[in-house]
Amino acid sequence: ETGVTQTPRHLVMGMTNKKSLKCEQHLGHNAMYWYKQSAKKPLELMFVYNFKEQTENNSVPSRFSPECPNSSHLFLHLHTLQPEDSALYLCASSQDRRNTGELFFGEGSRLTVL
């Protein structure tokens, strides 16, 4: 138990579907992150939120839309995805944006786009 919970753990969706990934952290952290992990590739940072404000968007396509209603919750809204978007999506948190090394990861949401 890392203190970061992601749901769903597995998701299969068609290219025209709309779905959302949810992340919740119970660590009292102020920064939250979305990472994409594709097979045999390094982790790719997608979005960063610090105190609910988005501080980084790494040129992520608009079909991925993050939402951070408070410091404990982070969502990734998905729509009109492509098969190449199939990957493990990892949420992480840290005390704040200055402590990017001390990341606590969730177990990920395995997404398959058909």
Partner 1 sequence: GESVGLHLPTLSVQEGDNSIINCAYSNSASDYFIWYKQESGKGPQFIIDIRSNMDKRQGQRVTVLLNKTVKHLSLQIAATQPGDSAVYFCAECYNQGGKLIFGQGTELSVKP
Q: Please, what is the minimum distance in Å from the beta carbon of residue 5 to partner 1?
A: 11
Q: How does DSSP assign 14-52, residue by residue?
A: -TT-EEEEEEEE-S--SEEEEEEE-TTS--EEEEEEETT
Give the interface with partner 1 as residue ranges (CB under 8 A). 2, 4, 39-43, 45, 56, 90, 92, 97-108
Closest to partner 1 by CB, 37 or 65: 37
Closest to partner 1 by CB, 40 or 69: 40
Sequence-distant (≥ 6) Cβ neighbours of residue 17 within 8 angstroms? 78, 79, 81
Q: Please, what is the minimum distance in Å from the beta carbon of residue 61 to partner 1?
A: 19
Q: What's the rounded Cα separation, in Å, for the pair 44 and 11? A: 20
Closest to partner 1 by CB, 19 or 97: 97
Closest to partner 1 by CB, 16 or 40: 40
Inter-residue contact 19 to 13 (CB < 8 Å): yes
Task: Find the length of the chain.
Answer: 114
Q: Please, what is the minimum distance in Å from the beta carbon of residue 58 to partner 1?
A: 8
Q: Please, what is the minimum distance in Å from the beta carbon of residue 76 to partner 1?
A: 15
